[in-house]
A and B are shown apart, each in its own frame.
Chain A
Amino acid sequence: KNQVEQSPQSLIILEGKNCTLQCNYTVSPFSNLRWYKQDTGRGPVSLTIMTFSENTKSNGRYTATLDADTKQSSLHITASQLSDSASYICVVSGYNTDKLIFGTGTRLQVFP
């Protein structure tokens, strides 16, 4: 069964600190993995998209890594800001389909 699992479920950090969010998936055959940021009450916004041949991709203070062998990805946030408070959703797509498998997300709260 195609699944995407994220950890931790929620995370609280202080402003300026770094954090890492985890994503494990069982989707096969694998095509690409995306990380989305979703502010409360808003639609998700894409942060990064990685194919199986990419190991890392950055978008400002966000850096995503992908290990297609172990089917794991991480999202690292550097020097967190209050505006980083949101849910971060890992999404995986199988090969030759545009249907996405969504994780349940990690709820990040950044406090001053």
Chain B
Amino acid sequence: SQTIHQWPATLVQPVGSPLSLECTVEGTSNPNLYWYRQAAGRGLQLLFYSVGIGQISSEVPQNLSASRPQDRQFILSSKKLLLSDSGFYLCAWSETWTSYEQYFGPGTRLTVT
């Protein structure tokens, strides 16, 4: 069966510090991978998605970046965090293009102070 992992579960970082969140998927090959952010009282916002190694599409301009160094690894990064980067970050995966279902990871709670 497929599983998706995210870490860390919670993170408190000062403004201006770097960020690295990691997501890995097990039990599937060549998944579509997604990074979402959920701010308090807001719906999930798609940040990045990837259809393959090294292929990243950005949905919104921001100081975040994403990378996919391996087939089942997706990393969300920032060089300098802003207060507005605080939120709940979710990684998700789906099968290829025609899949109906996206499966979400447990999330990372980021607080920028």
- A residues at B contact (CB < 8 Å): 4, 32, 34, 41-46, 49, 89, 93, 98-100, 102-105
Contacts and interface: CB of A to CB of B under 8 A. Distances in A.
Interface in B76-113: 88, 90, 92, 94, 97-107, 109
A42 B106 contact: yes
Contacts of B92: 43
A41 B46 contact: no
Contacts of B88: 41
Given A41-B109, A46-B101, A49-B101, A99 B43 contact: no
B74 interface: no
Interface residues of B, number: 25
A105 B43 contact: yes
B94 A102 contact: no
Interface of B: 32, 41-46, 49, 59, 88, 90, 92, 94, 97-107, 109
A106 to B, nearest CB: 11
A4 B44 CA distance: 11
Given A42-B106, A42-B107, A44-B104, A98 B42 contact: no
A89 B99 contact: no
**Across the A-B interface, the 8 shortest Cβ-Cβ residue pairs:** A43-B104, A102-B43, A102-B44, A104-B43, A44-B104, A43-B107, A43-B105, A49-B100
Contacts of B109: 41
Given A49-B100, A93-B100, A99-B49, A4 B94 contact: no
Contacts of B107: 41-43
A49 B102 CA distance: 11
Given A43-B107, A102-B45, 5 more contacts: A34-B100, A43-B92, A43-B105, A93-B100, A105-B43
